[in-house]
A and B are shown apart, each in its own frame.
Chain A
Amino acid sequence: MDQLAATKKVFRHHIWLTLFLENIILGLSLYLTINYLNFQLYLDFVISGAVALVFITLVAFFLANYVIQPLSSIRQAILHLSPSGTEPIKSPDIKSLVVGQELVTNLIGQLYEIAKIGHQSAVADGTRSTLSQNFIANSLPLPLFILENNEEIKFVNKVAADYIGLKADDVIGKNVYMILDMSFPTEDTFDVWLKEVKQKTAISTKSWERVRLNVRDNHPTLLFDLAAYYNQGNSDGISTMLILFDHTKQYSQDDQAVSFVALSVHELRTPLTLLRGYIEVFEEELRGKVPQDIENFLDKMQAASEQLTAFVNNILNVARVDDDQLELKLLPEDWGTILFNAIEGLKLQAKVRGITLELNISPNLPKVGVDRLSIQEVVNNLVDNAIKYGNQSKTVKIATKLNGEGLVETTVEDFGVGIPSSVMPNLFTKFYRDHRNRAQIGGTGLGLYLSKAIITAHGGNIWVRSDEGKGSIFGFTLIPYDQLSKELRAEDNNQLIRSAHGWIKNHSYYRR
């Protein structure tokens, strides 16, 4: 039944009742008064007047009480719903109503209903509740993220929540960079784009291919294309929309497709693994049981296999540098220990060529920020060169100390053929070698090129001084870890990823 019509009907009913009762009382009192006036008795008049007055007052009082009761119930309900002060206000007692119980119940019911809607929207915020009920947003069969102007996630559809393996409630209200740990193939990342459009334009769209999403530990990376829409003045408070097109399967197949270099390296490494294994078996079984010259051959075999291993790794890393795929993880490391171990590993190679390696490590060196494997390759390359080109001398000197600029400087010095000044400028170029030595000494000219790339990526410098006929000294600097982390404003992170190469992290927020 129409509630408004019902209300009107009840209301009319009570108005008529009230008017009817009032008329009866008025008529009765007039009748009594006139009767007494006929006796012309003043006292009687006064008495009858007083009685009539009291009677009318009493009746009016009770009537008024009944009439006002519904109104005060409604007032009580409004007070109950309003934000109260210190004392809690009770809800109205509708059952005690004599008049208009049905009407008041209806009205108060509606009041509570309105208050409930108001309360919901105040808590949930209008747009979100609209969005979460929005058919299109929810039934879009692609992961959808909607961001507010402050880059907080305002809405995710179920597909999106499932895609990243989280619940929508755990995502909404969080900063987008905390939830989506994305890496991009170029430096034009999502956050770079968003920053730019926020400054320059009102509406903009952009898409990216091959975005990678790091989900969690023990969970494979997701790969997708990303489309974004930005609208500055959106009245719904929506600033940015992100839609993800998943290509994890397809792109990870591409990732696993083996490049020519990787394939060659694999094919070189397998026999190399075997050779090193067999040499080790011979070492174990034959050392001390064969003539000295055979033992020397064993040493030489082992040195050669180590050299070949290093060279294969060089090829691989040069390919990485050329493809912008060299990614260094800079950790705080004790440089003396790394250098000592690297030199120990090179001693056999020096020994078979009759060269002694002299290592001098200054005490109290600060920790340096290095990628252990890569920096070992630099040491390998420089010492390997010194051994090759320093053949006339019997010593290669390696030293490390803190230099005047507060950097850790390492030098590798040989006393061999030296380098003519004319070729010095090209020394760190790929495939460049001193032409006069080419016939006598093997090598590809990859070592110095790679060393320079690795040192540069560490934030250091590499240099050379040489006297022809007297020898050469190669040096490189490394930055103490404390200084490096300050430079990169990432003191809280124990691992710095140099972004000059490889995949670009979306935002500094990626550290979780």
Chain B
Amino acid sequence: MEKYKIVMLGEKDHGKSTLLANLLIASKSVSHERINEVKNISKKNKTRFEPAYILDAFSEERDLGMTIDTTRANIAYKNKLIELIDVPGHLELIKNMMTGASSSEIAVLVVSAKKNEGFKLETKRHLFLASMFNLKTVIIAVNKMDELDYNEKIFNRLKKQINDFLNMLDIKIKPIFIPISAYDNENLTVKSQKIKWYNGKSLLETITGLKNNKKGNGKNKNKIRVLIQDTFDENNKSFSGIIYSGKLIKNSKIKILPKNIKAKIKSVSFLNRSSKSSNLKNVLISFFDKDLGVKRGDIIYDLNSDPSYLDKFRAKIFLINNIDLKNLKNIKIIFNNNEFGINKINILKAISPLSGKLMDLKKIIKPDYSINAEINLNCRYPIEKFNEFEEFGRFLIFNKNKFAGIGIVF
């Protein structure tokens, strides 16, 4: 069954959880028991039936009427499997939003068309992050149209605002716009009869009509890039790893970076013969030679292929907290669960993704900027460009052991 991984983005109170819950109810993906539980709580809280309570399961979320952390729910629709991830829309909870967005391929960005809500900062931030997380498709669900008499002009005005913003910042996303009412179920599963001027499909029909959302390394798929996860035996001859690209062939010679160790493959074994659709492909590899000095985090390459960078690299970074560049020893960079210190960061350019303004930053890197920087690791490590080998060209930044932001290599 084809699977679509979707994150629901958008500002708080613009209706993400309500939309998701109504999709679950409309596609019969949630039990009567769960719906009844929510009906009882709504009654007790003396509010109208609140579908969002299905996902906002913490009492605190329900009392405050906001999502605190991500929730995942699966729906099946016309023989397609859709995994929906709900994330909080509050700035303070942006790291939870990032956790949800990082495992998705498609975003549904919910924007309320109401006058006092509209296209605001958090929505801009989410659009920018959607481009950093390389989400292939962004669907903009223009919500609360029921409260605006399904007015076409209001819809078009919002559409223009968002497209102008994307052009100004040169964000390469071409969104699909759909007018909806999450609360009244208009345009969610079937095309709305109340929105005659809209010629497109309903939200679920649009999603299941999408093709090629799987991420992949395209033209580089024949090159070998295998991450060593762990040593597997006491003799230090076999290792567990993840094949992100290429094929490992018995008796062939490969090299292992960063130490440039040459080795001959004795055997390769997989968990499953056919897990083509899986983006994690576990493998056990053993070599003829023992005590090669191969470590967790090392990467297997073909003999005639090299990484883009080996210590100094260029990246676009986005932070959620300030970082003081005078204290580099507090900063750690994580590539595929392996931690590195840094010797130097040079800021090349800092631009606000919210206003488009350039900023002169030197000693402190501030949050909320799209920052191009040159980074020197404190040791040699193979690093790839994000648009060539995504898994080896993205990293997390920690400051004093706290999550500070993400980066992608260019």
On whether the two chains bind one another, the answer is: no
- A residues near B (Cβ < 8 Å) are none
- B residues near A (Cβ < 8 Å) are none
